[in-house]
A and B are shown apart, each in its own frame.
Chain A
Amino acid sequence: MTTTFPFEAESTEDELKTVGTAAVRIDGLDKISGAAEFVDDMDFGPGLLHAAIVESPHAYAKILSIDTSEAEKAKGVVRVVTGDDFPYKFGMYMEDRYIFAQDHVRFVGEQVAGIIARSHREAVQAAKLIKVEYEVLKPLLDPKKAFADDAELVHPDLGDYTHVPWFFPQANTNIAHWRKIRKGDTEKAFAEADYVLEDTYTVPRYAHCAIEPHVTVSKLDQSDRLTVWTASQSPHTQRHLFAEALAPLGFTHKDVRVITPYVGGGFGGKAGVSMEIMGAAMATLVKGRPVKLRWTREQEFYNTYQRQGVIAELKVGVMNDGTITAVEHRLYWDAGAYVEYGANVVNAAGLSATGPYRVPNITNDSLCMYTNLPPGGPYRGFGYSEFHFGLESHMDRIAEAIGMDPVDFRRKNAIVEGDELAYGAHMNPSGLIEAIDKVADAIDWGTDEESDNPDTVMGKGMALFWKAPAMPPNASSASFLKFNEDGSLNITVSGMELGQGYLTVMAQIASEVLTVPVEKIRVETPDTDRNPYEWQTVASHVTWSSGLAVEKAAIEARGKIFDVIHQVYGYEDDSLYLEDEKVKCKTDPDFEKLLSDFVIDGIQTEEGTWRGGPIIATGKFMPEFTNANSDPETGQGGHPNVHYTVGATGVVLEIDKDSGRIWVRKAALAVDAGRAINPDLVTGQIVGGLVQGLATVLYEDMRFDEGGKMMNPTFTDYKIPTAFDIPDEIIPIIVEVPQPDGPFGARGVGEHTMIAAAPVIANAVYDALGVRIKSMPITQEKIAMSYLEKRSG
């Protein structure tokens, strides 16, 4: 059985004009000419003040005293801020964070105080003068230790915290959330399985590394309106959280305005609210003056969200014919000091930790563990990249153990439309099998390649991926659309252009319905005062969700256009259609009316009066078939995910046996986009995501010392790919099995393309050298030393 969708987009196989074409990005000229304005580029005049933050040097400590007297006297200082100024909590899914630390600090880098000064230099200098006395406590840095019965508590008051109803924190423990799935009878299935493999995989923390650091400028004006210009993926969610957290100061939502221009990369790191709330709060103390808070690259690493680390204990049972019968996946997440957003990563992973396979018996435990490391949070892939590493490594190992080709094994178990999911709902249409076959083909699966260099060997690997948007069941999108005198369009939405091409895609969708060319459509980045609501630009959902809102607005506008024509000329609405910016009529081939002739001024009737007027329209979308109310003990009963996007990745690599250095000679990635509204942009996600994913497995790695301090908070030592560090060849493959409720059949692909990168490398390294590496990253050093050991032992 398949899910029935209440809203079937009108998209069909009819010939499409704009959708499906590689339209040129509508933000291209802005960005290449240097004109594109990011928050840090905006001018705020000579009154602009600058903020600097005093950070905790300890991972866990009690604050005994804060002496701000010297700093207050320092040159240029306007105001010093501490936790006493804002004793308020905030959080996205769970209120466990403070704007500035209150009595405790829980990670190295946590904000303890702030300086507002006339210049950035003065702010930074004054910050050095603040003296904080701490009583240092023993930090918890390991999620399994945090799970132990006798572990110190990172949040002793956890039992009192407010949270969304689908979280299950355990009071008086460090378990901030425990997502359980119980389906079938795993114990029995393991007992009956022909082969069972059990092992542990570990994944460290990772940083998003958008090249634009977080930055925010906030101003409380004399009329008590708070405006925050911010580099954010989530303008409305930010406004909501600012308004809620600062409500004790008398703010309501209408008094808070968030404006987001272009954003220099997000990857999840600019979702929700992190450092922005400090800027917003500080500005309330210096009425009339804009305050800029810009993170340094170092702060970007240690005091924004980080991708959580995980220890994954995995057990899988199969029959000799290759049928998977049971999966038990226990994930200990190192969620950090505050989990207000990160706990939902844990939740999402728990729901889907079987991977894209048909599994009748499932036991998933996804444990959100508080630790004294920086707050975990959303990162492209949202928990899926992390558990896919172990899962897809495991699948190769099982296939080998039962003597099956790993691709055949995957094909046999791959989930297809209608299969039951871990929580009882059913799988949406998907092209997983097609993706597997196309990738296998692209990398010549089954043929061994030989290196002609005696120092190197070749290896091949394959891995699958899936992911569903992780959002509240009622996350929604909206759009406004208006015509201009010349028939051009302005569309306002509140999804964010993070680089993925969202604005262009929205323009293409509207263009398809209204036949107005993309070049004549302006789609604006958000201002929460003016643009309609969008939950957030995360979860790879905006093409789908915001796309539906834009499509609906365009359809509404078209209806209004036809109404005017009907009123004036009497043609029935259903005989009318749009072509080349004109209204035409099926029953009267001679009739045509240019949109620009009437979309503002209306049409004059024979008696000289006018009909119509400005064509404006709205659209909104909220999924109405989802619900997050499942049984806490089994996870059964709800329908938490809207749909999954699936795909496959394969690589051919060459490894230097001595140095362990890897050259990815070829990489193929197939993703089921449902419908590629702009194939160029989908390809952009494939290539960009794959390279980002490869980096997490090959060299990226956040390192912390014994005190919980990050040791490599710079690009000097946290290596992200350069132009040299990309595969020699990337073969992007777009599969299109339409999503029935998607705009023109589209579903999101933004995160998915990095998810299988880690296991595909692990599998190819094994294929090349016979060395199985179970902890990320799989650095050249790790490969070389493991292989050395294998050779000598």
Chain B
Amino acid sequence: MDLEINVNGEQWVLNVAPADVLLDVLREQVGTKSPKIGCERGDCGSCTILMDGRSVRSCLVLAVEAEGHDIVTVEGISYEGMSQLQDLFISTNAFQCGFCAPGIVLAATELLENNPDPTRHDVQDALAGNLCRCTGYEPIIEAVLAAAPARQEGDSQ
């Protein structure tokens, strides 16, 4: 089937089978490798992408379902340099192996867009579907809290 989707601001026309999941199509046909294959059944969050601004697990979306939707991956938010959040992740050594990082960067990005002043609980909730085996989450949570727009404004005052 023909599929037209927008990935990181670029329009793609692809040929896919109905049984192809979006995760595989993004990785193999579009070449965006930041969404990772961790479980392929919605349990780990490493395939997280933003679809029309909301985080979804691309392993649970058939590619054909994405017709007409806007998809953003970490590559997409990194073109113009790192976001405030990404900078903090780097400078605080928040990640270890980094396999979960693309998904977590996006889940946290979604949170901060909708909630400029999240509590620790809000951050935990936003990241609860993104498994990280390395870090114990603490440094990630701290970096997200520090990157919150409300906190950033507070800092600059």
Contacts and interface: CB of A to CB of B under 8 A. Distances in A.
A4 interface: no
Interface stretch (A257-265, A388-396, A702-710): A257-265
Contacts of B41: 297, 714, 716
Nearest to B92: A680
Contacts of B125: 723-724
A404 interface: no
A267 interface: yes
A27 interface: yes
Interface stretch (A157-165, A444-452, A496-504, A758-766): A496-504
B95 A28 contact: yes
A576 interface: no
A7 interface: no
B156 interface: no
B37 A32 contact: no
A264 B131 contact: no
25 contacts: A28-B90, A29-B82, A31-B95, A32-B74, A32-B89, A32-B105, A33-B82, A34-B73, A34-B101, A36-B101, A40-B36, A211-B44, A212-B36, A213-B37, A263-B97, A264-B98, A684-B96, A688-B133, A688-B134, A714-B39, A722-B124, A722-B131, A723-B140, A724-B124, A730-B138
Interface residues of A, number: 58
A32 B78 CA distance: 9
A18 B100 CA distance: 29
Contacts of A34: 33-34, 73-75, 78, 101-102, 105
B134 A265 contact: yes
Contacts of B140: 723
Interface of B: 19, 27, 31, 33-34, 36-41, 43-44, 46, 73-75, 78, 82, 86, 89-93, 95-102, 105, 123-125, 127-141
A294 interface: yes
A209 interface: yes
A680 B142 CA distance: 14
Q: Is the interface of A mostly helix, strand, loop or mixed?
A: loop
Contacts of A132: none
Given A22-B93, A34-B102, A297-B43, A41 B136 contact: no
A687 B73 contact: no
A262 B93 CA distance: 16
A211 B133 contact: yes
A691 interface: yes
Contacts of B128: 722-724
A540 to B, nearest CB: 15
Contact of B138 (A121, A211, A264, A726): A726
Contact of A210 (B97, B102, B141): B97
Contacts of B91: 24, 28
Q: Is the interface of B mostly helix, strand, loop or mixed?
A: loop
B14 to A, nearest CB: 16
Contacts of A690: 136
Nearest to A266: B97
A32 B93 contact: no
Contacts of B105: 32, 34
A679 to B, nearest CB: 10
A231 B46 CA distance: 17
Closest 3 CB pairs of A and B: A31-B98, A264-B99, A499-B96
Given A684-B139, A688-B136, A690-B136, A211 B46 contact: yes
Contacts of B123: 723
Nearest to B17: A121
Interface of A: 22, 24-25, 27-38, 40-41, 43, 121, 208-213, 262-267, 294, 296-297, 497-501, 680-681, 684, 687-692, 714-716, 720-724, 726, 730
A500 B131 contact: no
B64 to A, nearest CB: 16
Nearest to B77: A34
A39 to B, nearest CB: 11
B116 to A, nearest CB: 19
Contacts of A726: 136-138
Given A29-B90, A722-B137, 7 more contacts: A28-B91, A209-B131, A211-B36, A684-B134, A688-B133, A714-B41, A730-B138
Task: Name the residue in A25, A33, A36, A296 with the highest tally of chain B Cβ atoms < 10 Å from its Cβ.
Answer: A33
Nearest to B121: A724
A356 B141 CA distance: 34
A212 B134 contact: no
Contacts of B37: 40, 213, 294
A38 B27 CA distance: 12
A499 B39 contact: no
A721 B74 CA distance: 24
B136 A691 contact: yes
Task: Name the residue in B39, B73, B129 with the highest tally of chain A Cβ atoms < 10 Å from its Cβ.
Answer: B39
Given A34-B75, A40-B36, A500-B96, A210 B129 contact: no
Nearest to A27: B98
A40 B128 CA distance: 25
Contact of A723 (B38, B92, B127): B127
Nearest to A210: B133
B134 A37 contact: no
Contacts of B38: 211-213, 297
Contacts of B36: 38, 40-41, 211-212, 264
Contacts of B19: 121
Contacts of A730: 136, 138
Nearest to B126: A723
A296 B41 CA distance: 10
A562 B78 CA distance: 43
Contacts of B132: 211
B44 to A, nearest CB: 6
B93 A680 contact: yes
A684 B93 contact: yes
A724 B121 CA distance: 8
Contact of A32 (B90, B127, B129, B130): B90
Nearest to B128: A722
B93 A681 contact: yes
B139 to A, nearest CB: 7
A680 B90 CA distance: 12
A499 B43 contact: no
Contacts of B141: 723
Contact of B44 (A121, A692, A715, A724): A715
A258 to B, nearest CB: 19
B74 A687 contact: no
Contacts of A266: 97
Nearest to B34: A34
Given A24-B90, A211-B100, A262-B97, A721 B43 contact: no
Given A691-B136, A721-B137, A501 B97 contact: no
B43 A715 contact: yes
Given A32-B105, A297-B43, A499 B98 contact: yes
Contact of A33 (B86, B129, B136, B138): B86
Contacts of A714: 39, 41, 43
A25 B101 CA distance: 14
Given A24-B93, A720-B131, A296 B98 contact: no
Contact of B39 (A22, A25, A501, A715): A715
A687 B46 contact: no
A722 B40 contact: no
A102 B133 CA distance: 35
A687 B96 contact: no
A716 B97 CA distance: 23
A38 B135 contact: no
A192 B71 CA distance: 73
A265 B74 contact: no
B133 A265 contact: yes
B102 to A, nearest CB: 5
A210 B75 CA distance: 23
A43 B28 CA distance: 9
A32 B101 contact: yes
Contacts of B127: 722-723
Contacts of A264: 36, 97-100
